């Protein structure tokens, strides 16, 4: 039996009144079902907070891409909640991931940085 490994693991910590640290690990090829799992958890965590500030650590070192519908889900998440993200630190291992991180930084109001070292990424989020 061959087992395909894919999905999202998500951790959310609240600090103070409205700061949230979100830890996301993406593995394999992300699907619409992965976003159906993640988005309600994020929205539930920030519900009732007037102006949440989200600091996200995104580990994509084992990610292989998205299904088309999952890409759409990611775009919708960004349009709905993008203004609530203060920083996104992306931990990756490929030049394509680095390039996509730079594109996100250029075309969104969110501070996005790419890292190959987890400690550096977490330190930057805490600045």
- Determine, yes or no, domain membership for 83: yes
Which CATH number is 14's domain given? 3.40.50.10600
Domain assignment of residue 32, given as a range: 7-126
57-105 confidence digits (pLDDT tens): 999 999 998 899 998 998 899 889 999 999 999 999 999 889 988 988 8
- Determine, yes or no, domain membership for 1: no
Residue 25, Cα to own-chain centre: how many angstroms?
8
pTM of the entire predicted model: 0.90
* Total tally of structural domains belonging to the chain: 1
- Strand 111-115's sheet: what is its strand order? 7-15, 19-30, 53-66, 85-91, 111-115
Q: What angle do CA 105, 107, 110 make, to 5 degrees?
A: 50
CA distance 126 to 66: 29
21-30 core/surface letters (b: 16 or more CB in 10 A; e: else):
bbbbbbbebb
- Determine, yes or no, domain membership for 43: yes
pLDDT at residue 106 above 90? Answer: no
> Do you know the residue count of the chain?
127
- Determine, yes or no, domain membership for 2: no
């Amino acid at each position: 039996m061959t087992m395909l490994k894919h999905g999202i693991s998500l951790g959310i910590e609240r600090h103070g009144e409205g700061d949230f640290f979100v830890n996301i690990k993406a593995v394999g090829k992300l699907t619409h079902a992965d976003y159906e799992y993640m988005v309600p958890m994020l929205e539930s965590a920030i519900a009732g907070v007037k102006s949440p500030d989200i600091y996200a650590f995104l580990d994509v070192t084992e990610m292989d891409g998205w299904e088309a519908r999952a890409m759409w889900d990611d775009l919708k998440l960004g349009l709905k909640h993008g203004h609530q993200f203060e920083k996104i630190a992306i931990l990756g291992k490929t030049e394509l991931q680095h390039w996509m991180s730079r594109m996100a930084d250029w075309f969104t109001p969110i501070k996005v940085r790419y890292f190959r070292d987890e400690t550096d990424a977490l330190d930057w989020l805490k600045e």
